[in-house]
Structure 1
Amino acid sequence: MVLFSLVMGKLRQFFRLAAQRQRQGHRSVLVQVAQAAFLLLVRQHGPMFYQMAGFWRKSIPLRDMMAHLNAREYSRRVASLNPSMYRMQSENKLSEKALLTLLGFPVPRFVGHFHAMHGRAASGEPLRTPQDLVAMIKQEDLRRLCFKPLEECGGEGFTPVDVVFDGGVCHFRGLGETETVTVDEFIGRWTEPLGAVIEEYFEQHPVLSALNPSSVNTCRIWVARSENQPAQTLFGYLRIGRGGSTIDNRDGGGLAAPVDSETGVLDSAVDSVETREIYQQHPDHGAAIKNVQLPYWAEAKALSEACLAAFPRLRFAGLDIAIGAEGPVIIEMNVSPAREGATFVDIPSGRVIPR
């Protein structure tokens, strides 16, 4: 009964969106239904994937719709490119950070790994108690930090804070918030069993900050390499947070703006969900998006390609790259980036991901 209700709800949403697109001058409801049914039967693309990918646009030919990998095909393709035993190099943020730092890649400054039993600061000092953390903050004169779970996706658990001293007592205040909590209270609320990776907050380039100042807006760059060949950039898009949000990804309601691979110029952004609303300006505060020139785009691509090559046996990834005043840095690498990313840039995934 629950499954039936879920299916019916999705169908009602599909028809509501199809009617809306028809009113906007796109494909008729009848054509959308026929195409969605065909793709479901032949390619196992669900009707909501049809809407999210914007297949209702008359400019998208059926051959391009067919060329997108379905969920099962994508999983198999990724598994063939990235053997499971090697994925943990990147899926654990501490090991990923260690390898990138060891090889001299630009990354946000690593402060330490907080854990009640075996936490350790970058300086080598213990980082196991709130007192250890406060001592490190004072010693390093830290003012803004990020706490991340060791293993997470979609920005879950990401917590940026400002360091505030009140009467000599160290407090944390969430970015954009007014309430402060003591370090003891903050640590008491942190429930991740593996502890937290702590980094210094990365200050993004003014061009990126203008798009949305509350979030570090990162480029998601898909890179891949064929056997015994150098890595190449497949495509990229800029993830832009919503007003007041500290994360930029789709799980946080973020936007996705395709980047011209040659020039680094942004196209209009989409909301990266089934509604696929299109925005030339930010919907929350009006900042221009379309035609904005990203700084250091060529360097961001080169950095992404070099990063993939640094991980043994991995041949495909989506790099999250932040851009600062002095150039790009690697936020993290995703060995199985969301397949929907290819739809944001209208590039069929089956044509660009190597076998």
Structure 2
Amino acid sequence: MLSGIRTFVRLVRRFLSLPRCYVSLVNWKECARSRPGVASDLLYIFFRLRCFPDHYSPCRLDEKPREDWHGYYGSNYGPIPRERLQREVQPPGYRAIFNDKVLCEVVSRGLGVPLPRYLGELRPSDDCVARVTAMLAQESAPRKIIIKPVTGSAGRGIVAAYRDDSGIVVDTGKAVIPLSRYRPEEPAIVQEFVPQHPAISAIAPRPVNTIRVLTLCTRSGEILVLSSSMRFGVGSATVDNWSAGGVAVGVDHRTGRLMDTAWYKDGTRCHAHPDTGFRFEGFQVPFWDEVLALAKRVQRGLAFYRLIGIDVALTPAGPVLIEMNARPDFVFQEQTAGPLLRDPRVLQAFGEYGLLYNGPQRRLLRQHLRTAGAVTPAA
């Protein structure tokens, strides 16, 4: 009862946010529809598809017939899909494992997967100069370290520290400053800066570029790869995050090859990296089988949380787990790698969990099951 009231209140708030979506979240410079047409589309998505239309512009739905929209799951942050996801596959009580990087580090060690070397923690009250200097002076110390806020997200607050001719400096992504001028705003963890595979550095050499693999533990216990995309930093950024101005391109997770189009968050497209001119289409991601094996091992080890976004970096020696995400952004995945429900396996797995939340999605499932000769799961 209380949960239903909360969902209704959130829906009302979302409805009142539709004008903001129309004004601010549509990429009008590249939109193919008229303004009345866009208004009609947003209302159709909200009322017919029961979804807040913040994926309309990023996924370029204005260029696609409405029938094709039904294969998009849409934003997982909307009240209706969020309630279903939390109830069935993403229980909120376990989120601290993923949101706190210290706790996530401990859990990740228990999974027995490759990780960046953990060097310790750094607090605002610490003598940062002494602590960072000591970390870089250790025997077999890395040449470069990464400092991440314990509760940060979307790449915010991440900096790199290393030694150059002038001493130890900190690269904030906006400027390189002496270590003496740096102090973390909140507690942070310190890890080695992962050496990147040379084939990936040829595309974007500055940040550590990562692959996001979306996984699901199905009702039968199978580990399903739902979608995968690779993010590349742009300009002087020390992180590759799509939310921080980077670009992302889908990966065909059956082959490990990049798709032809990379995307900025607002839906602007490119076919080559804006800094290096490297064309994405057909590039074979190194160690792809190992990437999938790592992601599946993580999901299998955390089967109590059945849908995870897993971030993986590629070193010359193979893949390394960088981060796990409790609520990976479906809009990001569908923008870069295509609609989730286009894959019949994903459609059926979501149907078995009752994650399909509108009539067109459930109709897609019925059509698939009729073709496959299977029994329709409960809505």
Q: Do these two structures clear the TM 0.5 threshold for a shared fold by scoring above it? A: yes
Please say if 1:137 is aligned against 2:115.
Answer: no
Aligned residue among 67, 72, 76 for 2:79: 72
- Contact kept, 8 Å, 1:155 with 1:249, in 2: the verdict is yes
Residues 282 and 142 of structure 1: CA distance in aligned 2, closer, same or farther (over 3 Å): closer
Comparing 77-86 with 232-241, greater Cα deviation is found at 77-86
- Contact kept, 8 Å, 2:234 with 2:246, in 1: the verdict is yes
Identity of aligned residues (%): 24
Taking the TM superposition and a 5 Å limit, the aligned residue runs for 1:2-41 are: 10-12=21-23, 17=28, 20-22=30-32, 32-41=38-47
2-side partners of 1:111 and 1:14: how far apart?
A: 40
Residues 314 and 45 of structure 1: CA distance in aligned 2, closer, same or farther (over 3 Å): closer
Structure 1 unmatched ranges of 5 or more: 118-126
Please say if 1:103 is aligned against 2:126.
Answer: no
Aligned residue among 102, 107, 126 for 1:94: 102
Instruction: Encode CA deviations 1:68-115: one digit per residue, 9 max, x unaligned.
Output: 356223322331212222221222111111222233210111111223
Match of 1:158 in 2: 158
1:138 CA displacement: 1.2
2-side partners of 1:245 and 1:231: how far apart?
A: 34
Comparing 81-90 with 232-241, greater Cα deviation is found at 81-90
Instruction: Encode CA deviations 1:250-293: one digit per residue, 9 max, x unaligned.
Output: 2211111010111111113343423x122111123312112211
Task: Give the TM-score taking structure 1 as reference length.
Answer: 0.81
2-side partners of 1:254 and 1:149: how far apart?
A: 20
Instruction: Encode CA deviations 1:151-208: one digit per residue, 9 max, x unaligned.
Output: 1110111111222464xxx5224278884413x432xx2120xx21100100111121
SS of the counterpart of 2:108? helix
- Contact kept, 8 Å, 2:211 with 2:311, in 1: the verdict is yes
1:225 CA displacement: 0.5
- Contact kept, 8 Å, 2:133 with 2:168, in 1: the verdict is no
2-side partners of 1:49 and 1:178: how far apart?
A: 33
2-side partners of 1:87 and 1:175: how far apart?
A: 28
2-side partners of 1:102 and 1:128: how far apart?
A: 31
One-letter amino acid of the counterpart of residue 134, structure 1:
T
Match of 2:314 in 1: 323
1-side partners of 2:282 and 2:101: how far apart?
A: 34
One-letter amino acid of the counterpart of residue 271, structure 1:
W
Task: Give the TM-score taking structure 2 as reference length.
Answer: 0.77
Please say if 1:348 is aligned against 2:347.
Answer: no
One-letter amino acid of the counterpart of residue 76, structure 1:
E
Structure 2 unmatched ranges of 5 or more: 1-13, 354-379
- Contact kept, 8 Å, 1:155 with 1:247, in 2: the verdict is yes
Match of 2:294 in 1: 303
Aligned residue among 175, 178, 181 for 1:181: 178
Residues 53 and 113 of structure 1: CA distance in aligned 2, closer, same or farther (over 3 Å): same
Match of 1:264 in 2: 256
What is the alpha-carbon root mean square deviation over aligned residues?
3.1
Match of 2:168 in 1: 171
1:228 CA displacement: 5.0
- Contact kept, 8 Å, 1:239 with 1:248, in 2: the verdict is yes
One-letter amino acid of the counterpart of residue 190, structure 1:
P
Instruction: Encode CA deviations 1:229-260: one digit per residue, 9 max, x unaligned.
Output: 03221110111111221111122111110101
2-side partners of 1:14 and 1:157: how far apart?
A: 25
Comparing 334-343 with 44-53, greater Cα deviation is found at 44-53
1:336 CA displacement: 0.5
1-side partners of 2:155 and 2:30: how far apart?
A: 31
SS of the counterpart of 2:62? coil
2-side partners of 1:283 and 1:180: how far apart?
A: 26
SS of the counterpart of 2:229? strand
Comparing 233-242 with 340-349, greater Cα deviation is found at 340-349
- Contact kept, 8 Å, 1:242 with 1:253, in 2: the verdict is yes
2-side partners of 1:34 and 1:144: how far apart?
A: 52
